[in-house]
Amino acid sequence: MKTHAGTDILLIGSDETLVLALQDGGFRVTWVDEHEDLYAAVARLQPQAVLVQADSPTRDTLEHLASLSRRYPQPTLLLHDGQDAELTRRALKLGISAYVADGMSAGAVRALVEVSISHREQLESLRRELTRSQRSLAERKLIDAAKCVLMERQGVCEADAFRHLKSLAMNARISLSDAARNLLAQEGT
């Protein structure tokens, strides 16, 4: 597993033992009170993870953290004593991971943060790959549609239509998908 030592962690709530454990693990920890301006803290720090160390964070705090996570994607972990099942449900519904940390060693919390950051990075990588694949598929559909237009209009086979489209792209010094888009726009399709 990739180590995230030197990364910024925002801790909401104050637990000196947890701060020291995270710092011993190489994390740079900034802590703020739950009632401080979380938006400003996250915008300023842009942490790789947010930890909420609170027995009972307010509903507003959880909703603010969920909103912040959409704007600044980072794992948000709620560390609590496990006494409030409703708190756990509410956090999970908002996309915040909730963990019972009562009795959890500092090393286990560090590992939890490491895994959460790695998981977020993997998800972001998958989202980027999905976006690339969707864009590639859309371009492929444009090219196929343009080839169909050329095959019908010129009465040629698919290979000849592709060569013609490729020639249009090379002559105009544009991508094959842009050439297809232009051809389809000229045809009104």
Helix (H, G, I), strand (E, B) or coil at 112: helix
Helix (H) or strand (E) holding 11: strand 8-12
For residue 56, the model assigns a pLDDT of 54
For residue 5, the model assigns a pLDDT of 55
Q: pTM for the whole thing?
A: 0.63
Q: Where are the beta strands (DSSP E) in 37-173?
A: 49-53, 76-80, 97-100
Long-range CB contact pairs, 31-38, < 8 A, 24+: 34/58, 34/61, 38/12, 38/64, 38/65, 38/68
For residue 36, the model assigns a pLDDT of 80
Residue ranges in the chain whose pLDDT is less than 50: 1
Q: Measured on CA atoms in the order 103, 109, 115, 116, is the torsion positive or negative?
A: positive
For residue 1, the model assigns a pLDDT of 46
Q: Is the Cβ–Cβ distance between 183 and 176 less than 8 Å?
A: no
Q: Is the Cβ–Cβ distance between 10 and 45 less than 8 Å?
A: yes
Please tell me the distance from the alpha carbon of residue 123 to that of residue 50, in angstroms, as a whole number.
Answer: 17
Q: How many CB atoms lie within 10 A of CB 23?
A: 13
For residue 158, the model assigns a pLDDT of 96
For residue 44, the model assigns a pLDDT of 87
Helix (H) or strand (E) holding 38: helix 38-45
